[in-house]
Structure 1
Amino acid sequence: MSPSAADGDLTVTDVPSAHRYEARTADSLAGFASYLRGDSVIAFVHTEVQDGYEGRGVGSALARAALDDARARGLGVLAICPFVDGWISKHPEYEDLRYTPESKVAD
């Protein structure tokens, strides 16, 4: 049985050189959340949980850690990734992080 986020053996780390947050158990990659980061906004573009770790809270641990880090850095969040977008919708305490463009220009 693979460890889960609830086991406390999961660590989430920002890996700027890879443009992603990684969730790891011991030496195994359990999942990642890829991003593009600017001065005032971070766009989450893809989240992936490795086979054997699905349904164990890895995606939620990634989302929470990445969003907490965005908050600490004062970044707005553009949730392009459907998982991150849905996670924010289910956790209203993170809604304030959603990026809202200042420009109102339209075609």
Structure 2
Amino acid sequence: MTRPLQIEHTRNGSEGRYWADLGDGFEAEMTYRIRADGARIIDHTGVPKPFEGRGYALQLVRRAIADAREEDFRIVPLCPYVAVQFRRHPEWEDLRASPQPPDRH
């Protein structure tokens, strides 16, 4: 069974990162940019090779989903892994933002 990760979240201006210490100097991470309309564009998810296949990347995505529900923002799943998870979890569809920001006329 996959151990639950202690996921940290850091944000610096319009960029952010979810990450977890995996031990021995390894980290799992998922990065995003914040668009002008507040949507978070998740652009990268990474788990070191020795830790792949343990569900750690999915834990990072689930944390972002929980934060989106709690903080009321939408997600653009630009990262291929996150896009696949959105397809596998139709219950997240209400959190998907359009890849293009809405026009502001």
Q: TM-score, normalised by structure 1?
A: 0.78
Number of residue pairs aligned between Structure 1 and Structure 2: 98
Partner of 1:79: 77
For the residue of structure 1 that corresponds to 2:66, the secondary structure is: helix
C-alpha separation in 2, matches of 1:28 and 1:91: 32
Identity %: 32
Unaligned runs of 5+ in 2: none
Partner of 2:17: 20
- 1:41 and 1:78 in contact (8 A); partners too: yes
Q: TM-score, normalised by structure 2?
A: 0.80
C-alpha separation in 2, matches of 1:40 and 1:71: 13
1:1-107 equivalences in 2 (<5 Å):
6-8=2-4, 10-17=5-12, 19-25=16-22, 28-38=25-35, 40-100=38-98, 101-103=101-103
* CA gap 1:15/1:27 in 2 versus in 1, 3 angstroms: farther
- 1:22 and 1:29 in contact (8 A); partners too: no
C-alpha separation in 1, matches of 2:49 and 2:102: 40
Deviation at 1:71, TM superposition (A): 1.9
